[in-house]
Structure 1
Amino acid sequence: MVPNDGKELQSNANKLSVTWVGHATTLVQIDGVNVLTDPIWSERCSPLSFAGPKRYTPPGISIPNLPKIDVIILSHNHYDHTDLPSLKQLEEKFHPLVLTGLGNKKLLLGEGMQNVKEMDWWDETKFGSVQFTFAPTQHFSGRGLFDRDETLWGSFVITGKDETVYFAGDTGYYSHFKEIASRFPKIDVAILPIGATEPRWLMEPVHVDPKEAVRSFLDLKAKFLVPMHYMTFVLSDEPLDSPVPRTKEAMKESGISESALIPLKIGETRFF
């Protein structure tokens, strides 16, 4: 983990940057627009504040040190990706536009979000010069026992004037990566999950492992891979620090230069 006081981010007017806050939470800066992905600052990813998976590493930047957040993108409604306490804090401070899949608006409005837009797969929304496209993934949704798959899950393609970032959310490996690449042939940065992968018999349909993340990266034809969804919450059986070495090995086996992998430390920013 590296300390991040947010000053460099607050003064960044136009450079493309990605900061890893932890888990699937990243801050993407593109064309002067500040975007948060699946924000979670809570101590637990659970419907209960006193039980459930507990944070192993603290968030890489505090909410008060963030630059003004313009847009929040939510890939799906699982507790580790749609964290209502964090969203309430961000709403109070920034009043951002919140983009989410079909069926999630009611929950978010009921929790105090003011500006929520639901999207179907391949829907597009603009904020300034930046276009957001909601794209398919292979996953599922649900926050309780009786609402499985009642709301839509997905990923986001963030397209600026000159650069494009892909945020995968949670996903198993499927042909959708190639379909996304066919529609967006110049992806600069792919933010892909590499953790919460074991045991495979359980996780394979919904979480890519490091080898599949590299395969997805190749399908997307992106320039850089920023890994996420590890080192924050203990959600599976693999050692918390194992995904990056396994990803490096998979890239080596696939003949990809290790320079394409950007394994950020929690709190670290990379400018592109």
Structure 2
Amino acid sequence: MKFLSFLLLVFFFSLSCFTDVSVRKSHHTESGYKNPNPTFETKGLWNVIVWQFQRFRLPNSLDPADYPPFPVVGNDGVELKNNPSKLSVTWVGHATTLIQIDGVNILSDPIWSERCSPVSFVGPKRYTPPGIKIEDLPKIDIVILSHNHYDHTDLPTLRQLEEKFHPLVLTGLGNKKLLLGEGLKNVLEMDWWDETKAFGLNITFTPTQHFSGRGLFDRNETLWGSYLISGKKEKVYFGGDTGYYTHFREIGEKFGSIDVAILPVGATEPRWMMQPVHVDPKETVQAFVDLKAKYLIPMHYMTFVLSDEPLDSPVPRTKEEIKRSGISEGQFVPLKIGESRFF
């Protein structure tokens, strides 16, 4: 089973191996899409294989049982269901958050599955349980999907959400066919900087530096991105998966006065492998500054073992960078899995 997991991890990260570094004026290409950074380049398949073999020599193995238990807050959803209008964020785990704004309930990159994998019996396994059960969620109005990787577009979870809530699903260009084929009914594709109005909110699909693909030969055929959610008085930014680039500053300059920025802090090591597509805590703090946001909620850690840093290291590392940058500690809001914060 460990050998199968190894092969799945090679597959999982080899999705980034086929790189188009041609420079075009637009992020559209003849076969799909590219990053705004003209020098963006990910590692090749050989690098992925070398890295996977190196992992067997690390003190922390690929077995999640080697990590200590982490606190998970039990959330029965009652307070969330009784929240008519207050801005709140609940961390379900990984990149899955429940955002409540102006009485609208939004799920980001929902995954309740035990594994983020093309198959259910092998692949990166969940280490911490979801912070709230699907049956305890308030009515979900909108689902936002940052990109089509298995840990962000989880089809079994999406099918459950469709059956229970029939939400509006927002996603990048090229993903609609996959989602409709899984039985989702209300899917809207968006290009970077596209804005849609839904349930009284303005939602903009914004750029990130990442990539897409669910197999070895569909790299960058669908678009990846992030979301800026604008309510009557408040704004929330969901960063998805991303490396560091100027897009954070562009978003901050365009929208300003962002109340809450939900940003990734995990899956960062080794940097020689992850730097193009995953911000580390130092870059996360710089992104927070670029966005001109009031509060930073970290995500994309402590759920799946996808990289080499200890699962519990991202928050302490981010706290160090917050202190070094002179940002108030009160602006950093590291939620426990299952915890809700009302603003």
Give the TM-score normalised by structure 1: 1.00
- Amino acid corresponding to residue 110 of structure 1 in structure 2: G
SS in 1 for 2:132: coil
Alignment-derived partner of residue 90 in structure 1: 161
Q: What is the distance in 1 between the residues matched to 2:222 and 2:240?
A: 15
Alignment-derived partner of residue 147 in structure 1: 218
Deviation sequence 1:146-196 (CA, Å, 0-9, x none): 000000000000000000000000000000000001111110000000000
Alignment-derived partner of residue 53 in structure 2: none
- Amino acid corresponding to residue 233 of structure 2 in structure 1: D
> Does the alignment pair 1:56 with 2:56?
no
Match of 2:264 among 179, 186, 193: 193
> Does the alignment pair 1:258 with 2:333?
no
Deviation of 1:104 (Å): 0.0
Q: What is the total number of aligned residue pairs between the two structures?
A: 272
Alignment-derived partner of residue 67 in structure 1: 138
- Amino acid corresponding to residue 14 of structure 1 in structure 2: S
Deviation sequence 1:55-97 (CA, Å, 0-9, x none): 0000000000000000000000000000000000000000000
Q: What is the distance in 1 between the residues matched to 2:149 and 2:307?
A: 15
Match of 1:217 among 281, 288, 292: 288
Match of 2:313 among 242, 254, 265: 242
Alignment-derived partner of residue 279 in structure 2: 208
Alignment-derived partner of residue 83 in structure 2: 12
Root mean square deviation, CA, Å: 0.4
Unaligned runs of 5+ residues in structure 1 are none
Unaligned runs of 5+ residues in structure 2 are 1-71
Give % identity.
78
Q: What is the distance in 1 between the residues matched to 2:179 and 2:197?
A: 20
- Amino acid corresponding to residue 84 of structure 1 in structure 2: L
SS in 2 for 1:225: strand
Deviation of 1:128 (Å): 2.0
Deviation sequence 1:217-259 (CA, Å, 0-9, x none): 0000100000000000000000000000000000000001111
Q: Counterparts of 1:175-190 in structure 2 under 5 Å?
A: 175-190=246-261
Kindly report structure 1 stretches of 4+ aligned residues shifted beyond 2 Å. Answer: none
Alignment-derived partner of residue 174 in structure 1: 245
Largest Rg, 1 or 2: 2
SS in 2 for 1:188: strand
Deviation of 1:34 (Å): 0.2
SS in 1 for 2:146: coil
> Does the alignment pair 1:102 with 2:173?
yes
Q: What is the distance in 1 between the residues matched to 2:192 and 2:234?
A: 21
Deviation of 1:126 (Å): 1.1
Q: What is the distance in 2 between the residues matched to 1:33 and 1:131?
A: 12
